[in-house]
Amino acid sequence: MKLMTGTIIENSRVTDEVFKIRLRMAQPFEFSPGQFINIKVSEWDAPLLRRPISISRRMDARTIELLVKEQGAGTRQMRFFKTGTPVDFIGPLGRGFNISGFKKEAPLLILGGGIGTAPLKGLSRDLANRGYTRVYVVNGFKDHPYGKEDFECYEYVEIDESKENRFVTDHVSASLNETDFQGVFACGPTPMLKRVREIFKDRGISVQLSLEEKMACGVGACLGCAVKIKTGPFDHAYKKVCVDGPVFEASEVIFE
């Protein structure tokens, strides 16, 4: 976790709403998949707060890629970030996916929804690099799927919800033998995450969900990004998405 500067070397359109930004740092930049950075989007403090964006994947030792969806003022400003200009960010932040402890040949499942597919790109590559050979990826999009080419995996399924009338989790239940999987990694809208947790409940496997919450500091100081997490059979506490997460074990997450 450091205050850093990266130079924008690319900012290009992926779909109508989604764009990708490549940032090059002066020094090698270490991170693990699922971590994010907290970006200052406006020199003029409009908006005031930084915006958390996952590191989608690594391009080289000094270069990372972000995938951003335009939502409001902050992401709209990012859309207009100019190539060659510097960006001030804090990172890498948070605890990413935990990919230790799986057998190399164990079937692993990655589930993404929309812009939630961003950090999963890097995850799929990391898993591949570490020799995991049976990684299944299922990504769902409301419309206009994107990003397939950036994943590295055993099987890649893409769902265009506008055409197929089914969700990522429907595909899992219908077409995959879910009992096989030794680990599940998911990032996407909350309803999707809820259903992922349902499907794999009580299987005794690691189901890791990447959560989102509004952030102010991004570093653990403000307690703004609280999510309810089980801390015991009858206990729970508010944990911070920014430092305790964004990735949490599904069994611990309390959706309200």
Partner 1 sequence: MNPLQVNLGGLILKNPVTVASGTFGFGREYGEFFDLSLLGGIAVKGLTLKERSGNPPPRIVETRGGMINSVGLQNPGVEAFIKEEIPFLRRFDTRIIVNINGDEPEDYARMAMALQEADIDSIEVNISCPNVKSGGMLFGTDPEVAYRVVRQVVENTRHHVMVKLTPNVTDIRVIARAVEEAGAKAISLVNTFNAMAIDIQTQKPVLVRKTGGLSGPAIKPIALRLVYETYSAVKIPILGMGGITGAQDALEFMLAGASAIALGTYNFVDPLAAVKTLEGIEAYRKEKGLENLSDLVGKAHR
Ligand X SMILES: Cc1cc2nc3c(=O)[nH]c(=O)nc-3n(C[C@H](O)[C@H](O)[C@H](O)COP(=O)(O)O)c2cc1C
Q: Which residues bind ligand X (CB under 6 A)?
A: 222, 224
Interface with ligand FAD, residue 110, by CB under 6 A:
no
Q: Provide the CB-side half-sphere exposure for 100 (13 A, CA).
A: 2
CA distances from 14 to 19, 145, 216 (A): 5, 10, 28
Smallest gap from residue 103 Cβ to partner 1 (A):
36
Task: Name the β-bridge partners of 37.
Answer: 53
What's the angle, vertex CA 187, arms to CA 183 and CA 192, rounded to 5? 95
**Only segment of 8-16, 130-138, 152-160, 206-214 that touches ligand FAD (CB under 6 A):** 206-214
36 binds, among a second copy, ligand FAD, partner 1, none (CB under 5 to 8 A by kind): ligand FAD
> Of the two residues 48 and 61, which places its CB atom closer to ligand X in the complex?
48
- Burial (Cβ within 10 Å: 0-12, 13-18, ≥19) of residue 28: exposed
Tell me the per-residue interface mask from 62 to 101 with ligand FAD, x by CB under 6 A, - otherwise. -----xxx-xxxxx--------------------------
Phi, psi of 246 (to 5 degrees): -75, -10
Interface with partner 1, residue 149, by CB under 8 A:
no
The DSSP letter of residue 82 is P
Smallest gap from residue 44 Cβ to a second copy (A):
4
Q: Which of 87, 99, 115, 250 binds ligand FAD (CB under 6 A)?
A: 115
| Tokens 């693990």, residue located | 32
From 52, 57, 9, select the one nearest 32 (Cα to Cα): 57
What's the angle, vertex CA 24, arms to CA 19 and CA 26, rounded to 5? 160
Contacting partner 1 within 53-112 (CB under 8 A): 90
> Of the two residues 211 and 215, which places its CB atom closer to ligand FES in the complex?
215
Interface with ligand FAD, residue 52, by CB under 6 A:
yes
Smallest gap from residue 43 Cβ to a second copy (A):
9
* Alpha helix stretches (DSSP H) within the chain: 73-79, 118-129, 161-164, 168-175, 190-199
Pairing of strands 108-113, 86-93: unpaired
Interface with ligand FAD, residue 217, by CB under 6 A:
no
**Angle of helix 168-175 versus helix 190-199 axis, rounded to 10:** 20
Contacting a second copy within 16-45 (CB under 8 A): 42, 44-45
Smallest gap from residue 76 Cβ to partner 1 (A):
14
Contacting ligand FAD within 119-138 (CB under 6 A): none
Cβ atoms within 10 Å, residue 150: 18
Positions that interact with partner 1 (CB under 8 A): 1-3, 40, 45-50, 90, 213-228, 236-238, 243, 256
Positions that interact with ligand FAD (CB under 6 A): 36, 47, 51-54, 67-69, 71-75, 115, 118, 212-215, 241, 246
